[in-house]
Amino acid sequence: MGTESELQASVQALVQKGKGILAADESAPTIAKRFAAIGLESNEENRRAYRSLILGTPALSDSISGVILFEETLMQRADDATPLPQLGARMGLVPGIKVDAGKIALALAPGDEITQGLDGLGKRLAGYKQQGARFAKWRAVYNVTDTLPSRAAMQTNAHALARYAAICQEQGVVPIVEPEVLIDGAHSLARCAEVTQAVLHEVFQALFDQRVVLEHLLLKTSMVLPGKAHAQAATPSEVAQATLRVLRRTVPAAVASINFLSGGQTPEQASANLDAINRCGVQPWPLSFSYGRALLDPALKAWGGQASRVRDGQSALLKRARLNAAACQGRYETAMESSG
């Protein structure tokens, strides 16, 4: 029963009232893009400095319970030679690891994508765990049009997510299951709701088939939003109602926590929408956040790659983390954006 109590302890450390999970697991191409935006070269030393800034932020653990890391970060050290996962743990943050190997086109399904990385996953996880990782993340993406995603894409990605989750639990690592319905496109709020409902239904059917214990996993999902190119934006209240309707229809109450991804929203939109969701009364699960860009973009800009501005970067990160912690409890106000 060791694995079970280990999983339970990690779930309790990750799921804390008013706290979310920080996604600092940008892949090499993604971080290069983020760095380019501030005129910084993506080399090993700059990435190490950036991740040291994040994991060394004082008081971050007041609002953040865990941090998802990229594989490279597990091997890196802070200025005082402390391994970065250990630095995070010392600051009260549970270290986690992104384990998927990215997405490719799904064969015979034009426009659909599938995530790779199952081969050798058990062995890799054992190694990550030795380096301090207590939870993992796997992301599946779904492109939305009038005809996409296809049923094949939904079934294939659900099966991969469920196999990943089962392998994690067998290794004593808590899986974060991340099906992301993409915000790109001109689809309506209603179309996004329809796709998200179908996707989540497939995912939980597959998790059930693979005997995954729902109490020992976290769901990282997209909010129900109209596509970026859709003529009509949705208010936070509309997003909240549509999102909760879909979640209540598809996600069993046993799931430990639902942590929303920010997926293309601005930092302010991500906080306002999360807040609106949490103002809708008590739900079967805690409704929190697992944001990447919506937490880190302001920090990246404030830091700008300069050692003299590490504190500025940390202050910007801390501010966004606190605003989202408030949103987790339905206590976020737009006025908070301009204070502190």
Q: Domain 2-338 has what CATH class?
A: alpha beta
Residue 161 buriedness (CB in 10 A; 0-12 / 13-18 / 19+): buried
Query: What band does 235 get if pLDDT is binned at 50, 70 and 90?
Result: very high
At 14 the three-state DSSP class reads helix
pLDDT mean across residues, the chain: 96
Mean per-residue pLDDT, 186-209: 98
State yes or no: pLDDT of 219 exceeds 60.
yes
Residue 141 has pLDDT above 80, yes or no: yes
The reply to whether 71 belongs to the active site is: no
User: Active site includes 178?
Assistant: yes
Spatial CA neighbour of 117 closest among 42, 46, 168: 168
Question: What pLDDT band is residue 340 in, cutting at 50, 70 and 90?
Answer: low
Q: What is the pTM of this model?
A: 0.97
Q: What is the DSSP letter of 19?
A: -
> Would you say the C-alpha torsion 162, 128, 178, 104 has a positive or negative sign?
negative
For the segment 262-271, the average pLDDT, to the nearest whole number, is 95
Q: Are 258 and 288 in contact (CB under 8 A)?
A: yes
What does the pLDDT read at residue 1? 42
**Per-residue pLDDT averaged across 153-178, rounded?**
98
Lowest mean pLDDT among 10-14, 189-193, 229-233: 229-233
The tokens describing 150, both together, are: 């296809």
Give me the catalytic one of 19, 137, 220, 319.
Answer: 220
Predicted confidence (pLDDT) per residue in 291-331, tens digit: 999 999 999 999 999 999 999 999 999 999 999 999 999 99
Domain ranges of the chain: 2-338
Position 339 scores a pLDDT of 77
Quick one: what percent of the chain has pLDDT higher than 90?
A: 97
pLDDT surpasses 80 at 73: yes
Indicate the pairing of strand 64-69 with strand 94-98: parallel
Among 178, 180, 202, 319, the active-site one is: 178
Inform me whether the pLDDT recorded for 218 exceeds 60: yes
The residue assigned the tokens 């089962």 is 166
